[in-house]
Amino acid sequence: MIKHAATLTSALALSLVSSAAFAQAQCTTVSFSDVGWTDITTTTSATKQVLQALGYDVNVKVLSVPVTFASLESDDVDIFLGNWMPSQEAAIRPYLDSGEIQSVGANLQGTKYNLAVPAYTYDKGLQTYEDIADFSDELESTIYGIEPGNEGNSYLVGLIDADEYNLGDFRVRESSEQGMLSEVQRHVDRKEDILFLGWEPHPMNANFDMRYVEGGEDFFGGEGEVYTVTRSGFVEECPNVGAFLQNLNFTLPMENEIMGKILDDGMDADDASLEWMQANPDLPLSWVDGVTTVDGGDATAAVNELLAR
């Protein structure tokens, strides 16, 4: 009996070790969604490079926001660094309530997201949502949005469909971030009026003399936060990466500077992010406090090796 019990105990211990090893093996590859916004491309790139320095294989998929949330729900993606709140509240709330998506915490604070105009248009009197309809001719009844499926676009379409603020004759012109910014640049060069979705962090705030329109607080809110979210159970299954994600934080100056390198200087996102981290090592090193490499080694040494390239 004692011999059999000892054998059973040994087998159980071996099973637990094997299960732990299998779970650890399952966590050697990590997947992210990048929705194509330069700020999220920036933070995802920096995060990816540090995780790769720790020995992880990192896959980045370019997906829209709705597809990102659906992919987190179906466990096709592990992590998303771009949950802008409160503007994505309605889109993500059902997933958070069901537990299919879990919020790790805020990675950026003090964000802005709302309709914006050039300063000269603001000075003409387009300063609030109530003013927009009065400028329908100057704006050609058009609001320039970003990629199709974006929740900001959907909110604006809802206002138009409901004829809120007398916007019934307007349309939302959906485009990529770069497509929208090209339109803004074209209008600004000609001193023409334009109404578009703006946000910070983004170099547009430095590149254009622009103002945010007052209103839309029910959707856009005031200053907001960006959250890191994961598929259900990821932090528990991959505690080392989970600890890393809980440490993860960015700053507006960081993102504005890296995004400027990408958008204004034409740098590759990975090169721009690495260059910034090399000049500002304290921030990426703070992300690995209490974290190890994938095989249990010194994470700080691994990051220092990355930054020394």
- What is the tens place of the pLDDT at every residue in 147-179? 888 889 999 999 999 999 999 999 999 999 889
**Residue 12 pLDDT > 80:** no
**Residue 18 pLDDT > 80:** no
CATH, range 24-111+223-307? 3.40.190.10
CATH class for the region spanning 112-212: alpha beta
Q: Name the token pair of 237.
A: 């299954």
Q: Given this model, what pLDDT does residue 26 score?
A: 58
Q: Given this model, what pLDDT does residue 81 score?
A: 98
Q: Given this model, what pLDDT does residue 22 score?
A: 41
- Ranges of each domain in the chain: 24-111+223-307, 112-212
pTM, two decimal places: 0.75
Q: Given this model, what pLDDT does residue 25 score?
A: 47
**Residue 233 pLDDT > 90:** yes
Using DSSP bridges, classify how beta strands 171-173 and 224-231 pair: parallel, antiparallel or unpaired. Answer: unpaired
- What is the tens place of the pLDDT at every residue in 103-136? 999 999 999 899 999 999 999 999 999 999 999 9
